[in-house]
Structure 1
Amino acid sequence: MVPTFLMKQTGTFRGLRRSLLVPATIAGALVLLHMLSPMTVVADSPADARRGGIIDITFEERVDPTGIANSTIPLFEHFEHPAPRYAVDVYSLRFWSSDFDGSPLEALATLYIPVVDQHREAPVLAFLSGTTGVGNQCATSLEEPEVIRWGWYRQNMLAYGGQGIITIFPDYLGFNNDDIPQRYFSAAAEGHLMLDALRAARNVFSERPLPIHSSVRPGPGNVTAGYSQGGHAALAAADMNLAYAPEIRLNGAIGFGSTNNVETLMREAAYYTPYILLSYRSIYGPEAIDYSRLIQPRWLPTLEEDVMRMCVDQFQTFFPFDGRDLYTPEFYAALHGNRLHRDFPLLKRILDENETGLSGHGKPVLMIQGNQDIIITNPEQRRYVERLRSSGSEVEYVEMEGVRHRHTRPAGFARSVDFIRRVTE
């Protein structure tokens, strides 16, 4: 059975380029926004979409400090549990962003606003999740951690809001869309989303009448952050900050168990590769991503169906972690023998194009790494950090004793809050 979105596009996707990406140029007209009620904003049409423009916003709930403290216990487990300083108002919103090629796409996000009685400014944080999958059912906004834990992400963002940080948490582009999969490890799509999320968070405060019930306002400081795949996105935003969103002053980026080099991820944790390949095939086309050269024949008949139907809690027990059980012998040898440039040159170019953080952006970076991480191992992360420093960034690299990949966020939370405050002062 072929996934519906592939049948619609006869194997590729409508309007996507078949050549390697170049930095997108986007000619978006300004959105005309009309306030219909204190809680609703509507954009005219996709043709009028401006990046970061608000489509609509809806108030969800106010969570007081006690509620935040209680709800975040499962997130922080045995790690330091921060005491919330503020209540947090939670909003759902849709805004405009751009796909890898610059075409407009709707994005869905949750916005967390600290509640204060007197005017004060706060930094703005855009945060993206780790891998959850690429089908719509895997959108992070659908997480029910009491049933299936992907990361206790709502609680994680409430914790940041409770520390006085305006926080926006979007679903990746491609989620909530029947025509395309999640743009998994697309540096361009992720970077656009991160920067447009910062724009959207700020645009909410310029609406009239104001749909916000707090006296907090965005200060000049902005930070991008993310866990695993989200760290890849946070550094992608740093790379394209000046070209894509020059009006946004990005003060720093944070990675928790950050997976910035896609080739390394494919080498160290093979079960992510089918998702990477499907995403890149949707962007670069089947000529660039030939499954039969990369994946063993036994996985091919239902590969795309399997990828689209399984979220992370399923595929990590379905696809093998060891590439010898997934890859063709030729691809495994080239990947582990540093010969992709010779044996798979087009794939190598695609992987290099989607590595993030090394443009020479010069932003301060905090990298939180657990010394028990098997997804991105310490030697590989140290090599990446040295390259990041060589490219011109001041990097605060923290290896945390006894911490696994999934625990980098709770273990490194206090350090991340300190970093956000320092770089945005």
Structure 2
Amino acid sequence: MSIPTIDSWTPPGIRTTAPAQAAPAGKPGDVVRSTEITDRPEARMASAARVFDVTYLSADSHGNLVEVKGSVSVPKKNPGPGGWRIMAWDHSTMGLGDDCRITDTLGKDPRGSRDKWLGQWLRDNYVIAATEYQGIGGPGVHAYLDGPVAGKNTLDMVRAARTVVTRYVGTPISNAFVSYGGSQGGHASLWSNHLAGSYAPELKNAATIAHSVPTGLADYFAAIRPGFPNVVIPDYVTYFSYVLAGLKVARPDIDVDAYLTPTGRKVVKDAERLCYAESGPATKGLTVGRLVSKPLTDGPLLPALRQYARVPTSGYGAPILIQQGYLDVVSFTPLSEQFVSQLRANGVDVTYRTYPDQRHGLSTAQVLQSVTWSNSRRTWPR
């Protein structure tokens, strides 16, 4: 018997339209809309058999259920006895605006490098469940580095992927997953591990891989004040504006604009829509010292930022691999090493690997090490 396609069949419990001007009905991880996009060249990596664009329900910074975008890429190989495993992919910084989506354009890569490293998960029989994070391509503004929200978005994307694969592809799929991401994505992946046991107990978090993770963010934001000199951090103004734009979303009680010059207010407002590739040219020649009107240590902003952008140092239910470029000046090695030491002191199962010649991000060969590490985990259901 042939399996119905997503366009010809709507399974029970799956809504095809959201109610207008109302909060979506349902529970976290429910699929709102799904469309097969395999025939779009920009959507399908070479190693994917089928790709689905997915809209599902997950949390925003205020605990509301909202629509979140993502995609599901399906392997070409048949699954093993336990069904396909799931890799929950958390993308790195792409921007905050609706046009900054990446999950439905994973095949748009002229050099083919994305399929070399992300496609290896498919070749090793993982379904890729990729979230866009709340606010990117959906309602509201994306709260950049709001870890609890990104972690829930990741876990709900795994739930949505299981629905899509089971009901539309008709192939067995495990409840076990590994979360994986770099930079912003590494931050999100760690939070999904931290939250998995309480938020999604029906899932089995087998492992987490995070590289180039922004830890201790508030520690170097504390130095920012009017006249702060230019620094060697690439696109520092972009990151600064994204963080403060996200803080405004998550903590409307903090008057972020009171810390900003007119130029700073414009840059932070523009950050709500500018994608990463656009923000650099738009802020060329600016320094963070020109954006602030008083030190960020004055008043409540820095304590709020410290709480907002934190990464837990305990409470992880699955082993972690952290990869760090030693020359990274965006996610500083000393802060990453401090974070790893805290994890180990708290009994967390963490493997730490550094690369002496690497900056922010990793080479394809180093990324592929993470797939091998994931495959070897004894925490996978047997």
Shorter-chain TM range is 0.7 to 0.9
- In the other structure, the counterpart of 2:226 is none
C-alpha displacement of 1:195: 0.7
TM-score of the pair, normalised by structure 1: 0.73
The Cα of 1:235 is off from its aligned counterpart by: 1.0
Give, in angstroms, the shift of residue 37 of structure 1. Answer: 5.0
The aligned amino acid for 2:91 is: S
Match of 1:212 among 154, 157, 169: 169
1:83-124 Cα shifts (integer Å, max 9, x gaps): x7xx53222222221222221111221211112346542321
Q: Answer whether contact 1:265 1:375 (CA < 8 A) is retained.
A: no
Amino acid across the alignment from 1:162 = R
Q: Which amino acid aligns with 1:316?
A: G
Task: Give 1:200's aligned residue.
Answer: 160
Report SS of the residue matched to 2:367: helix
2:228 paired residue number:
none
User: By percentage of residues, which structure has more helix?
Assistant: 1
Matching residue within 185, 195, 211 for 1:256: 211
**CA 1:203/1:172 → structure 2, altered by over 3 Å: closer, same or farther?**
same
Amino acid at match of 2:364: P
- The 1-side partners of 2:39 and 2:267 are apart by 43
Map 1:4-83 onto structure 2 (within 5 A).
40=10, 42-43=14-15, 47-61=24-38
Deviation above 6 Å: which 4+ runs of structure 1? 144-149
The alignment partner of 1:192 has SS state of helix
Asked if the contact 1:126/1:167 (under 8 Å) is kept, the reply is yes
Matched, 1:416 2:370: yes
Matched, 1:125 2:87: yes
- Unpaired runs of at least 5, structure 2: 224-232
Q: Secondary structure at the match of 1:133?
A: coil
Taking a change above 3 Å as real, the CA distance of residues 373 and 353 of structure 1, as seen in their structure-2 partners, is: same
Give the TM-score taking structure 2 as reference length: 0.80
Residue in structure 2 matching 1:378, options 321, 324, 333: 333
Code of the aligned partner of 1:308: E
2:118 counterpart SS class: helix
Distance in 2, Cα, partners of 1:118 & 1:290: 50
- Check 1:314–1:367 CA distance in 2 against 1; reply closer, same or farther (3 A cut): same
Residue number in structure 1 paired with 2:74: 113
Cα distance in structure 1, aligned partners of 2:302 and 2:77 = 50
Residue matched to 1:75: none
Equivalent residue for 1:274?
A: 241
Q: Of 284, 289, 295, which residue of structure 1 is paired with 2:255?
A: 289
Match of 2:141 in 1: 181
Task: Answer yes or no: is the 8 Å Cα contact 2:151–2:188 preserved in 1.
Answer: yes
Letter paired with 1:195: L
Secondary structure of the residue aligned to 1:292 is helix
CA RMSD of aligned residues (A): 3.3
Give the Å deviation of 1:392.
Answer: 2.4
What is the one-letter code of the residue matched to 1:191?
A: G
1:327 aligns with 2:289: no
Match of 2:229 in 1: none
Secondary structure at 2:37's aligned position in 1?
strand
Q: Kindly state the Cα deviation for residue 309 of structure 1 after the two structures are TM-superposed.
A: 3.8
Q: Is the 8 A contact 1:88 1:114 kept in 2?
A: yes
Displacement of 1:397: 1.0
* Cα pair distance change 1:59/1:409, threshold 3 Å: farther
Distance 1:248 1:135 in 2: 30
Distance 1:304 1:350, change over 3 A: closer
Count how many residue pairs are aligned between Structure 1 and Structure 2.
352
CA displacement at 1:233 relative to structure 2: 0.6
Identify if the C-alpha distance between structure 1 residues 405 and 271 changes in structure 2 by more than 3 Å, giving closer, same or farther.
same
Q: 1:358 to 1:101 in 2, by over 3 A?
A: same
Displacement of 1:388: 2.1
Are the equivalent residues in 1 in contact too, given 2:31–2:160 (CA < 8 A)?
A: yes
Matched, 1:164 2:136: no
Aligned-pair distance for 1:154?
6.9
Change (3 A) 1:349 1:292: closer
Letter of the 2:246 partner, please give it.
S
Distance 1:404 1:262 in 2: 17
